[in-house]
Chain A
């Protein structure tokens, strides 16, 4: 079977043969960027389509079913519509920040994709602080949201942005702490090492109850970080019309929409990497025949399967739960999730020291 590492090393050798080392590096950067961009856009299109179909399924309706087979081209049509619409900036907005905000948000979510390991040997940046980098970078996004809300010169936008600021800064903590539990067990921040440490079983199975708890906390906290229902207070349609992106139209709005899905992708990737073994197949210790069969399923199917599972979970929340109120939201984080996460981390540290995990 062709491995992704074969392809990447072939590209590297071909380019090195043609260009000087510096130019090779540059060309590879551009190639990687374009590849990720294309990949992510494809993902987003699939996610949007999936979201609408899942919503339709849950709400006793069909979802898109006119453009293409089963409405599969609906999202592409929508993207064209957004691209053709005028990106209108109202008169009294702060033009610079208003126009800059969507791009900042988008750039930040793309940055978080850098250390992700997509498949064996297919990783853009294998850094030894991979997970830390992702958590650090993904919280910059809130600056873009605050910029959008403040510069719009709209009170709804401002309230939405302020809510979003409070929310993302709070939930960053328990998201970080729940990842830290796994980091403590495997002893490395590198994405590659975390995946390799799960070769004999995913952390969610190896790590006893504390890691399962961390997984649940991570899914809750990351849903909040993505501003998805039931934590969509920043947008809160029934309260703030559209929250921080009320004043955006055309592709400005499109980029916020896109970013929401890229953030979901990042979150799903991190969750599947850290808790569900990334692209590693499902193995049961001591059950060789089964493990062998599982090894035949390509790694990308495993990885994407896990991503789609988590995305589906997040969508399921969105279409089932009512929204929290701002004080309930903050109370949930600061009074319940954060203390419990800290206690959980202590327990994990204790288990790690005693070597009780598998």
Chain B
């Protein structure tokens, strides 16, 4: 029996996932969510009371560690942040210079070749599950419980109200979406995960191409038979594994660490990074300040991969907080 989500996304959680939205738009969106949830209640009670057919996690094999994988060409423009491995069968990957990558760029090496083969298997495996519950093409504003959802043609998110995936408290719950043709999300759309749903267990099997809209927020493992395009500012918690070309534009793609149970967080203070404290070229001021900046790496566990489930959209790069009009350190050696 499909259940009613016990909690709608809280205002703060909404804020966390939609930092672009003005307060006015957020309020409207919250009202929209409430109204749509009520209408989906009506549909559930009037129609079948059964949950969608159970989905099983799609085995990714050697494609598992990839955040972005292409079976043909790879192209990026603008500042893109990726956590996870990347690779493409076409060795001329464009735009990697503006990618902040936490992971390995495999280029077109044997790891990528193996991953592409695994992707082909994963696509077949995902398409072979079900059939699932038939869903309408536009997923905006729907709240779905775990299971398989199938569209013989396209799937889309065409409105600002989020698609909510409700894990019903089961951290092992799996969602599988099957699209006979395209998956297209419009600008500003989003997917929310509640009640234990995790991007590690949300799978999208796309029979043709995938397009994620400008500034949209998407979640899950996107398995695409042809090309994948992420438009400007689109964010993905998950991965894009595409037998065809992949095109990126100023995106943030964070592959969550899925090998361990999703509820196991790191147990130490800040996860490891490798910051480099730049030694200043100018002499220290003669009056030594207290608390001289530490040159050390923040403490952490070097072997544990970083996950980004708590910050909805990770800012790119550094923070520009100062105009140099009143510096403490001199910029020249002139006395």
Do these two chains interact?
Answer: no
Residues of B within 8 A of A (CB): none
Residues of A within 8 A of B (CB): none
